[in-house]
């Protein structure tokens, strides 16, 4: 499952922001780097990729008439209507 580098950077920024919000500022006084081992949280990029692969495995076992399967395989049927959607 491909993951864009800019998306990874944004996820890491989001993860650090949330961890700072939960645990407060945890910087090493000597080096000035974030002490991530204090958070003891798994890597968010690895988690997103593994859950995406798990979802793809579930979808691959679905029937070929399911919308999720068609989206995964890349063979949608029909056409989108022209214009703005009605709500």
The per-residue pLDDT for range 43-66, each reduced to its tens digit, is: 778 888 888 889 888 888 888 888
19: tokens are 């961890």
Name the band, by pLDDT with cuts 50, 70 and 90, for residue 39. Answer: low
pTM summary value? 0.50
Q: Tell the burial category of 65 from Cβ atoms under 10 Å away from its Cβ (0-12, 13-18, 19+).
A: exposed
Alpha helices in 1-87 (DSSP H): 5-23, 44-60, 67-73
Q: What is the residue-averaged pLDDT of the chain?
A: 77
| Longest pairwise C-alpha distance within the chain | 61
Please indicate whether residue 31 or residue 15 has the higher confidence score (pLDDT). 15
DSSP state at residue 66: S
Please indicate whether residue 42 or residue 84 has the higher confidence score (pLDDT). 84
Residue ranges per structural domain of the chain: 5-73
- Which of 6-15, 58-67, 72-81 is predicted least confidently? 72-81
């Amino acid at each position: 499952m491909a993951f864009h580098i800019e998306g990874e950077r944004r996820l890491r920024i989001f993860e650090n922001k949330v961890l700072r919000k939960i645990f407060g500022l945890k910087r090493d006084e000597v080096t000035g780097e974030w002490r991530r081992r204090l958070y003891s949280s798994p890597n968010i990029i690895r988690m997103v990729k593994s859950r995406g692969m798990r979802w793809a495995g579930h979808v691959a076992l679905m029937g070929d008439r399911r919308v999720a399967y068609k989206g995964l395989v890349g063979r949608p049927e029909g056409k989108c209507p022209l214009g703005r959607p009605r709500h």
